[in-house]
Amino acid sequence: GSDDRKRADDVLKHVLREAVGEFFDIVRADEVGDPGTISGDIIARLYNADLVVADLTGTNPNVMYEVGIRHSFSRPIVQICQTGENLPFDLADERTIFYDLTSLDEIADAKDRISRSTRRAIDARPFSAPVVRALELDTLFADAESTPLSRSLIEKLEDLGSGPIDFGSAA
């Protein structure tokens, strides 16, 4: 009966089910009635789901944890959030669809953007989440300081004012 629950129910009913319900079976974690541990079931669903749509509104700690888990699996995810919210630093640079439940035009626009984003996320093979992208960069630049071209590139980047670049320790 809380305002947060009502907003979540409205987003599920009037945005997500209308935007992607024809393509996906939408299951919100609190709708699962399977026996067993809740956290084990959620982690399994986060791994096995073709797509996760995460509503970051309110920076709910459980949602943040679940997004981190999904990112570590590098499986398709679409982030959404109520307009006017400030996203945590680690999620702010990931594409997020903002919506405003007080405007019918904004809701229609959000549904269209969510529908398009879900199709793009599913079509992206392989989907690359922030954890995997970071690890790939780390691997790519593991020996970066050992080649003249890489040293030159690093010096030029540092000259741009971005400060020192740490590529980890060279072997």
Give the pLDDT confidence of 76-107 residue by residue, as tens digits.
Answer: 999 999 999 999 988 888 899 999 999 999 99
Q: Which residues of 43-81 are buried (b: 16+ CB within 10 A; e: fewer)?
A: bebbeebebbbbbbbeeeeebeebbebbbebbbbbbbbb
For range 122-126, the mean pLDDT: 76
In the beta sheet, which residues pair with residue 54? 79
For range 104-115, the mean pLDDT: 94
153 C-beta neighbours (distance < 10 Å), count: 14
Provide the whole-model pTM: 0.73
More confident residue, 142 or 84: 84
More confident residue, 152 or 45: 45
